[in-house]
Homo-oligomer: A and B are copies of this chain.
Amino acid sequence: MSYLTDDPIDAHALVARVMRPSDGAYVLFEGVVRNHHEGKTVESIFYDAYRPMAEKEIDAIVRETTAHYPDVALAVVHRLGHLVVGDSSIAIVASSTHRAEAFEACRMMIDRIKDTVPIWKKERGPNGEEWVGWQGRC
């Protein structure tokens, strides 16, 4: 089961994969390409990844989150390649008997994924393109 895909994300299918009859709630998070970033217009984004390592890192985050919230069922998929405004780059589903754990587990997942998984994005706009986070970090 891969956490990465080059195709559009089907969040509905992801939800269906996760839900158990004992679940009373699910929280779905989707990250979406927006038309602006730090004051600049964005038209599209290219997502790159160190694929085998990204798979391992996401898997580790799923395991940590599950250890923290044992009642929660999780699914996550991250899309790579060229995306335009409105496209989903990531979808995370957390389902649980009660809503609190579903909210918290979903939030924990996206926060950690953004923090450690080797995925990068190059933003493209009317004034050119740029790898996010690189400029000015030295």
Q: What is the interface of chain A, defined by CB distance below 8 A to chain B? A: 11-12, 15, 19, 21-36, 85-86, 95, 97, 99, 102-103, 106-107, 110
Top 7 A-B residue pairs of the complex, sorted by shortest distance between their CB atoms = A24-B34, A28-B28, A21-B35, A21-B85, A25-B31, A27-B29, A103-B107
Are A25 and B32 neighbours in the complex by a CB distance under 8 Å? Answer: yes
A36 to B35 alpha-carbon distance, docked (Å): 44
Are A86 and B22 neighbours in the complex by a CB distance under 8 Å? Answer: no
**Shortest distance in angstroms between A112's beta carbon and chain B's nearest beta carbon?**
13
A25 to B89 alpha-carbon distance, docked (Å): 10
Can you list 21 A-B pairs, Cβ within 8 angstroms, ordered by A?
A12-B12, A19-B86, A21-B34, A23-B32, A23-B34, A24-B31, A24-B33, A24-B34, A25-B30, A26-B29, A26-B30, A27-B27, A27-B29, A28-B28, A28-B29, A29-B99, A29-B103, A36-B97, A99-B110, A103-B106, A103-B107
